[in-house]
Amino acid sequence: MIVKHHKTTKIVLSSLLIMHLLLSIASAAQSKYIEIIVNNISRQQLIELTQHGLIIDHVKQESVTVYIPPEQISILDNMGLNYRILSQNRLKINTDGYPSIDQLKQTLQSFESNYPELCQLFEIGKSYEGRPLYFLKISDHVDIEEDEPEVKYISSMHGDEPVGLILCLNLIDDLLTQYNQDTFITELIDNLEIWIMPLMNPDGYVHHQRFNMQDIDLNRNFPDRVNDNNNTTAGRAVEVQHVMNWEFAHSSVLSVNFHGGTAVVNYPYDSDFNPYARYSATPDDKLFREMALSYANLNPTMRNSSSFESGITNGVEWYLVYGGMQDWSYVWMGCMEVTIELDNEKWPVYSKLSQLWDNNREAMFNYFTWALKGIRGIITDSITGEPIHASIQVEKNDFRVYTDPDVGDYHRILLPGVYNLIVSADGYVTQYLTDVQISDGYASRHDIALRPDLNISVSDIINMIQVLSLSKPVPIQYYDINRDGQLELTDVIWAMHYLVSNL
Ligand code: ZN
């Protein structure tokens, strides 16, 4: 009896100690989550953890990272999982060399002031703790919108994955300094509107944590066709809201979401209606694979990957993510986005960055050229000639790209081949482009004038006749010759006949 009592007390005490330890780790990281490594987990167990709402990250053959609130740790125990809690020491990061938020701001501002004809700095909103979210636009005629595809690179939505932040700054620097020096870079700037956001989660970066300061994982917080089928900003993390609002006001056609923690190019879908799916192919799967390969092939670490065949993976094939940015971009915004994991270390020592830049430089530049392939053009109103907001889709493929309504330009990335395309807009007659030949190289141009759908019914015409003949209204029994209330062309003729004969 005494022994049993003693034992129980001991268990209670040690649980309290563990809880205390976990809470202290969580508070040190300024997040409600603690980082845990789970070993030898099955795909089935992984799905179960996802369904508990835990955040899964970087699934590897032998282990997986799980972010979990300390009070939910019993979920892992109940599942009989073998795990270890990462200590605070592991979470210590060497930030030497990485820019402060002020230094980042100064760097971006100096780009703008040194190259005012090529770049403009936009603050698209503030983080939860009030730090600015910067987007730098680079283009020739940077102050106007042209008939050019908009491409965007966004990095470090996970605050503890800053490799892409540094690479984006290098990329900007090269773009600006090599303009009119390097033919390829000049061509990119002349033909694209390039938008670069080096740091989407400045608060997380400052606090060295994955989450924003609302404790939200930004790459689990976007609309998702499976469990959050609602393309509005309501109730989302502030940083997510700013990016969504920016995208609503633009029509970017190509984008990259840069992360760290492994080296791979991950393409949609990240989620699937069937949680047990092994692969979730978009209708553009072949194209996405080509795009992903084109990046990974130019990156020696990815190309020689032992974890991912050819350095690429389908999102679901790797692990299920609900609310990721890439699926949202593709499903709702007509933008082909991939997620690129840049390095096995999330936050490497700064001296490693020059090697990482060497590994990614060519791939990052080359990837832009996808936006210039496929089919492009301007869609206008056939009567006014004004640009309109329209969508273009390939027959039997639900994915749509949208015109930028200011200019009316559309850009649909396609692999070489022959396609049937559907062009539609509210209030216009849908147009079909059949047997369109797409070759490799620059996009073929098809400008389209859509005819307004006047949509006038017979009864509308009769109403007009009535209005025009106020002095002599036409008795309905005269023109509704079938007396069925259904108005047809012959009814119009009879109504006009009445008016003419009663002049
Ligand atoms: Zn990440």
What CATH number has the domain bearing residue 62?
3.30.70
pLDDT (tens digit per residue) in 365-400: 999 999 999 999 999 999 999 999 999 999 999 999
pLDDT of residue 297: 98
Last residue of a domain, one of 26, 50, 85: 85
pLDDT of residue 89: 53
pTM of the model: 0.85
Residue 426 has pLDDT above 80, yes or no: yes
pLDDT of residue 425: 96
Q: What angle do CA 281, 65, 26 make, to 5 degrees?
A: 135
Q: Where are the beta strands (DSSP E) in 60-101?
A: 63-68, 82-85
Residues 333-340: what's their mean pLDDT?
97
> Ligand 1 centroid vs 158 CA: distance in angstroms?
5
Residues 348 and 223 in one domain: yes
Of the listed ranges 8-12, 325-329, 470-474, the one predicted with least confidence: 8-12
Residues 328-341: what's their mean pLDDT?
97
pLDDT of residue 7: 40
What CATH number is attached to the domain comprising 346?
3.40.630.10
Cβ–Cβ < 8 Å for 270, 316: yes
Residues 183 and 295 in one domain: yes
Asked whether residue 93 is domain-assigned, the answer is no
Among residues 48, 341, 345, 386, the one annotated as catalytic is 341
Residue 413 has pLDDT above 70, yes or no: yes
**Full DSSP string of 264-313:** EEEES-S--SSTT-S----TTHHHHHHHHHHHHTT-HHHHT-SSSGGGEE
Asked whether residue 215 is domain-assigned, the answer is yes
Percent of the chain scored above 90 by pLDDT? 71
Residues 80 and 122 in one domain: no
Proportion of the chain in helix, strand, coil states, percent, rounded to 5: 40, 20, 40
Asked whether residue 92 is domain-assigned, the answer is no
pLDDT of residue 428: 94
Residues 313-319: what's their mean pLDDT?
96
Residues 294-308: what's their mean pLDDT?
97
What DSSP designation does 214 have? T
Q: Where are the beta strands (DSSP E) in 139-237?
A: 150-155, 193-197
Residues 368 and 387 in one domain: no
pLDDT of residue 11: 41
Instruction: Count the domains in the chain.
Output: 4
pLDDT of residue 388: 95
**Full DSSP string of 10-71:** HHHHHHHHHHHHHHHHHHHTTSS-EEEEEES--HHHHHHHHHTTPEEE---SSEEEEEE-GG
pLDDT of residue 491: 84
Residues 275-279: what's their mean pLDDT?
93
Asked whether residue 178 is domain-assigned, the answer is yes
> Ligand 1 centroid vs 44 CA: distance in angstroms?
23
pLDDT of residue 212: 96
Residue 293 has pLDDT above 50, yes or no: yes
Cβ–Cβ < 8 Å for 263, 342: yes
Sheet order of strands, 417-424 included: 400-402, 391-394, 417-424, 431-438
d(CA 333, CA 326): 10
Burial of 230 (0-12, 13-18, 19+ CB in 10 A): exposed
Q: Between 17 and 42, whose confidence is greater?
A: 42
> Ligand 1 centroid vs 272 CA: distance in angstroms?
20
Q: What angle do CA 422, 428, 431 make, to 5 degrees?
A: 25
Q: How far lies 142's CA from each of 182, 292, 312, in Å?
A: 19, 29, 34
Residues 334 and 440 in one domain: no
Asked whether residue 248 is domain-assigned, the answer is yes
Peptide bond into 269 cis (omega under 30): yes
Cβ–Cβ < 8 Å for 404, 377: no
Percent of the chain scored above 70 by pLDDT? 92
Asked whether residue 95 is domain-assigned, the answer is no
pLDDT of residue 29: 47
Q: How far lies 348's CA from each of 101, 163, 260, in Å?
A: 18, 8, 10
Residues 77 and 105 in one domain: no
> Ligand 1 centroid vs 168 CA: distance in angstroms?
16
> Ligand 1 centroid vs 260 CA: distance in angstroms?
6
Residues 331-336: what's their mean pLDDT?
96
Residues 470 and 491 in one domain: yes
What integer best gives the mean pLDDT of the chain? 90
Residue 468 has pLDDT above 50, yes or no: yes
Residues 368 and 383 in one domain: no
- Tell me which residue range forms the domain holding 42: 2-85
Residues 69 and 117 in one domain: no
Confidence at 455, pLDDT banded by 50, 70, 90: confident
Asked whether residue 383 is domain-assigned, the answer is yes
> Ligand 1 centroid vs 161 CA: distance in angstroms?
6
d(CA 466, CA 254): 53
341 is catalytic: yes
pLDDT (tens digit per residue) in 82-98: 898 886 555 578 889 99
Residues 419-442: what's their mean pLDDT?
95
> Ligand 1 centroid vs 341 CA: distance in angstroms?
7
pLDDT of residue 487: 81
Nearest to 193 by CA among 256, 250, 258: 250
> Ligand 1 centroid vs 110 CA: distance in angstroms?
28
Residue 323 has pLDDT above 50, yes or no: yes
> Ligand 1 centroid vs 359 CA: distance in angstroms?
19
Of the listed ranges 203-217, 243-257, 484-498, the one predicted with least confidence: 484-498
> Ligand 1 centroid vs 212 CA: distance in angstroms?
12
Residues 306 and 358 in one domain: yes
pLDDT (tens digit per residue) in 131-187: 999 999 999 999 999 999 999 999 999 999 999 999 999 999 999 999 999 999 999
Backbone dihedral angles phi then psi of residue 194, each to the nearest 5 degrees: -95, 125
Nearest to 446 by CA among 433, 427, 428, 430: 433
163-178 helix and 183-191 helix, angle to the nearest 10 degrees: 100
pLDDT of residue 87: 65
Residue 24 has pLDDT above 80, yes or no: no
pLDDT of residue 503: 67
> Ligand 1 centroid vs 106 CA: distance in angstroms?
25
Confidence at 34, pLDDT banded by 50, 70, 90: confident
Residues 113-126: what's their mean pLDDT?
97
Cβ–Cβ < 8 Å for 268, 343: no
Residues 132 and 217 in one domain: yes
> Ligand 1 centroid vs 315 CA: distance in angstroms?
13
CA contacts within 13 A on the Cβ side of 33 = 22
Nearest to 189 by CA among 198, 180, 197: 180
Confidence at 4, pLDDT banded by 50, 70, 90: very low
> Ligand 1 centroid vs 241 CA: distance in angstroms?
18
Residues 313 and 244 in one domain: yes
What CATH number is attached to the domain comprising 421?
2.60.40.1120
Of the listed ranges 10-14, 205-209, 424-428, the one predicted with least confidence: 10-14
Last residue of a domain, one of 320, 338, 372: 372
Asked whether residue 94 is domain-assigned, the answer is no
Burial of 68 (0-12, 13-18, 19+ CB in 10 A): buried
> Ligand 1 centroid vs 285 CA: distance in angstroms?
23
